Amino acid sequence: MLRTAALRTTRIRRVLVLCAAAVAAGALAAPGAQAAPSGQPAPGTVAPQVYAPPVGAQAGPAAAAERRHTGREIHRFLTWFYGEHGPTDSQREHFVSDFLKQKQADNPDHDVLLCAQNTPQSIEVGPVTVAQSAGFGWATVTAYWADGTTSTFTGYVALDSHPIELHDVVCAR
């Protein structure tokens, strides 16, 4: 478990260094120039805000800290992402990390985003914990099932992910 966390942290650091270099080089498009996800949210649902660095922000530790997602933003994202019955195909495509997509590919008979095989009746997102030093925010998500049972899992969001995305899910035992 510790080795997996160390490898994941190393990968994230490499990605952050590459992203910082791209921002410094001006290779990343402005938020208005980015394409919107192909699937629009259902009427009455709120799409998550896509966060971008402040205009004129310099790449570096101070600028990176300014662009980090807050607990409130993460809660809003997770609530939108999971909705009432789980994420849509479009959300799964555009708002999930490559790490989590690979985890799903490795477990085709199990929905790793919901830690289940069925569609829940409803979903509730708990309070968010943010660990600036770890670079992640997370919340416990509770799924309510048709048979009256509940299940819980933890959804993790990288604080520096732009656009914001679900990075990992850990199922409760």
In which band, very low, low, confident or very high, does the pLDDT at 111 lie, cut at 50, 70 and 90? very high
The answer to whether the CB of 48 falls within 8 A of the CB of 76 is yes
What is the distance between the alpha carbons of residues 66 and 54, in angstroms, rounded to a whole number? 8
Tokens of 128: 């968010």
Would you list the DSSP string of 48-92? PPPP-PPTTPPSSHHHHHHTSPPHHHHHHHHHHHHTTT---HHHH
Q: How crowded is residue 97: how many other Cβ atoms within 10 Å of its Cβ?
A: 18
């922000």: which residue's tokens? 57
pLDDT at 9 over 70: no
Q: For strand 136-144 and strand 122-131, is the pairing parallel, antiparallel, or unpaired? A: antiparallel
Q: Which helix (H) or strand (E) element contains residue 98? A: helix 98-106
- Cα-based angle 90, 85, 47 (whole degrees, multiple of 5): 45
pLDDT (mean) for 90-109: 96
Sign of CA pseudo-dihedral 43, 46, 51, 55 = positive
pLDDT at 91 over 70: yes
Q: What is the mean pLDDT of the chain?
A: 77
What is the distance between the alpha carbons of residues 79 and 76, in angstroms, rounded to a whole number? 5
Rounded to two decimals, what is the model's pTM? 0.63
pLDDT (mean) for 88-116: 95
pLDDT at 31 over 90: no
Q: Which residue has the higher pLDDT, 90 or 46?
A: 90
